[in-house]
Every structure is written in C-alpha cells, then in structure tokens.
Amino acid sequence: MQCPFCKEEIIDGAIKCKHCGSNLENPIQSGTQATMDFVAFFNTSLNIWKSNLSDLILLTLVFLVVCWIPIANIGFISGYTRSLIKVARGQGRSQVGDLFTAWDCFGNLLVYLLLYLTAAVILHFVPFIGSLASIALGFLVVPGIYAIIDARKDPLEAIKWGMATIQADFVNWFLAYLVGNVIIFSGFMLLFIGALLTAPLGQLIIIQQYERCKSA
C-alpha cells in the first residue's frame, strides 16, 4: 500500500508510516499529533515542489499573466489547482495547457464564490465583529473550493463537506491555510516575481491537507 501523506510504499495494514511518521490508523486528529502530521505533509509538499520546480515556475508564470482576465480567471484558477493536484498525486508533470482544461467546474465554482462574496459583504456591515467574521469566512470556504475543482461537487455539497472536514481536522486545516498563504503572499511582497516560487509551494501545502481529508 501507499502512504496517503508522503506517497511512499509501506506494508499493508501499517498503522504508522516508516518514512514520514504519519499515523495511518486514525489520520484525522488534533493537538500534538495533528501538528506532527502537518510537519510531515509540509515536508512532502516541499519535496514535491523541489522535484517539479522548473515546471511549476513556468505554469505559475503563465497563470499570473492570464489570471487577471475577469470571470475567465475562475477557469484558470481551476486549471492551475488541478495541475498542482496532479503533481501532488504523482500523476504527471504540470503543463501550461492544464490551465485551459478545467472549465467543467466553472459554473459551480462561480456560484460558490458569489455566495462567499455576498456573505463577506454582508458581514462587513456587522458592527465590531463583522471584519473578523469575514476573515474567518475566508478560511472556512477553502476546502469547498478544492472539492469543487477536484471532485466537481455542487456548491451546497461543497459547503457541507467543507464545514465537516474543518470540524473534524481543524488544527491541520488552520495550519495549512495559515502557512500556505503566508508563503504565497511573501512571494508577492518580494517584488511580485517571488510569487513564481512561493505560489505553487503554498498551494501544494493546502493540497496535501485536502488530500488527507478528501475521502473523509
């Protein structure tokens, strides 16, 4: 069998991966074990990023050029994400053409994002806690985005699944979201060009968390 975290071959029925140390008997946990699991899939993301760096830089470069096109950028975001999921699963190399092949989830993702934006705007008008609630909402919608892009869930299914998976594995989702986004935006702070390196790595970290939870 294959470890769901580091993708290395392990003995059938193993309860702990000998390569990355992840707990396979009950992979969705909290506290200390969750932190250990995060370190394991962070290292896995880093290794995947290093092994595919040239392809990921080219993919990200083209993505940053086309992602400014209104409305159509939703399709490009889907294509970019699917390409990184493909790489994370070891199903092939990322290719620029991947950006233009994910229009099948365009409608569902558009509706999902419109629902999010509507809720975020409403929350901004709530005194005192509105802004904080809007930030929290941004975190809560992340799993659903990946579920729509990868599993083609409809918006309501994505909302339901996203809430359930965050509730089941809050610590790892929070760590993946926080660290992934800090890495991504650090690249944009470095004269923007740094995003060619940081955007795919940050995404891969969040994708590794999604991979852990997608069958839950």
Domain ranges for the chain: 31-213
| Per-residue H/E/C for the chain | CECCCCCCECCCCCCECCCCCCECCCCCCCHHHHHHHHHHHHHHHHHHHHHCHHHHHHHHHHHHHHCCCCCHHHHHHHHHHHHHHHHHCCCCCCCHHHHHCCHHHHHHHHHHHHHHHHHHHHHHCCCCCHHHHHHHHHHHCHHHHHHHHHHCCCHHHHHHHHHHHHHHCHHHHHHHHHHHHHHHHHHHHCCCCCHHHHHHHHHHHHHHHHHHHCCC
Residue 27 has pLDDT above 60, yes or no: no
The whole-angstrom separation of Cα 94 and Cα 57 is 10
Question: What local confidence, expressed as pLDDT, does residue 214 receive?
Answer: 83
Between residues 18 and 183, the one the model is more confident about: 183
Question: What local confidence, expressed as pLDDT, does residue 1 receive?
Answer: 74
Q: Mean pLDDT over residues 11-18, rounded?
A: 72
Question: What local confidence, expressed as pLDDT, does residue 23 receive?
Answer: 57
30 pLDDT band, cuts 50/70/90, is: very low
Interval 62-114: pLDDT, tens: 999 999 999 999 999 999 999 999 999 999 999 999 999 999 999 999 999 99
pLDDT > 90 fraction of the chain, expressed in percent and rounded:
70
Between residues 116 and 132, the one the model is more confident about: 116
Average pLDDT, the chain: 88
44 pLDDT band, cuts 50/70/90, is: very high
pTM: 0.83
The whole-angstrom separation of Cα 180 and Cα 126 is 29
Q: Mean pLDDT over residues 155-164, rounded?
A: 95
35 pLDDT band, cuts 50/70/90, is: low
Interval 122-146: pLDDT, tens: 998 888 888 889 889 999 999 999 9
Residue 151 has pLDDT above 60, yes or no: yes
